[in-house]
Amino acid sequence: MDFRSFEIEGPLEIIPGKIEDERGYFSEIFRLNSFAERAGNVQFVQENQSLSVRIGTIRGLHFQTAPFAQGKLVRCLAGRLLDVAVDLRADSPTFGHWLSALLSPASNNQLWVPAGFGHGFCTLEPDTIIGYRVTSYYSRDHDKGVAWDDPDIAVAWPGVADAETLSGKDRSQPPLRDLPRYFSVKDSQCA
């Protein structure tokens, strides 16, 4: 299992190995001790899955606030997607910066998005299924977001990104400059 870090401290791309033969492959996709050594001591409490039928579907940029701030371990189960994390830790030197990873079943990779980051994605193939484990339960009262197309963040979404696919909630998220400072670097190390 390989772990790749980014210029933004906290998130990790995890690339599980595969043992392949003529029947297919076997892959250990999660190992707590290896994960905890790099990401910290986290406990997953809920697993979510969503299907996006159309290419270019945009979901995000979402996060939850304390005491339900979530770290997310994200994988693509079918199709292909660009997964994005935005640093929302007010005291971070990379506040407002973003990173991305292409996730697909063929790549067998995952993205760890710690608490303190906004998360979103854009589908690159039809019928894309995303699955992710989270470190806190969903709470409607703590469910927040930031505008997916905020020019101050300037995510380089793929050319297929289709604003028509946005949910009503995602169409009305505030820009980064209007977002309360919900997180600090210390918060992202806890969840």
Pick the catalytic residue from 25, 62, 97, 142.
62
Residue 186 has what pLDDT? Answer: 79
Give yes or no for residue 117 having a pLDDT over 80.
yes
- pTM (two decimals): 0.94
Give yes or no for residue 108 having a pLDDT over 60.
yes
* 140 φ, ψ (degrees, to nearest 5): -55, -40
Average pLDDT, the chain: 95
97 is catalytic: no
**Spatial contact of 188 and 72, defined as CB atoms under 8 Å apart:** no
Give the chain's domain count: 1
Query: What are 101's strand-pairing partners?
Result: 83
Give yes or no for residue 191 having a pLDDT over 60.
no
pLDDT level of residue 19 (50, 70, 90 thresholds): very high
Q: What is the pLDDT of residues 149-185, one digit of tens each?
A: 999 999 999 999 999 999 999 999 999 999 999 999 8
Q: Which domain holds residue 36?
A: 2-188
Region of poorest pLDDT, from 33-42, 45-54, 93-102, 112-121: 33-42
Pick the catalytic residue from 97, 119, 132, 137.
132
- Residue with the bigger pLDDT between 188 and 183: it is 183
Q: What is the pLDDT of residues 59-83, one digit of tens each?
A: 999 999 999 999 999 999 999 999 9
Task: Identify the CA nearest to 3 among candidates 24, 43, 47, 33.
Answer: 33
> What CATH code is carried by the domain that includes residue 93?
2.60.120.10
Residue 131 has what pLDDT? Answer: 97
**Spatial contact of 116 and 9, defined as CB atoms under 8 Å apart:** no
pLDDT level of residue 189 (50, 70, 90 thresholds): low
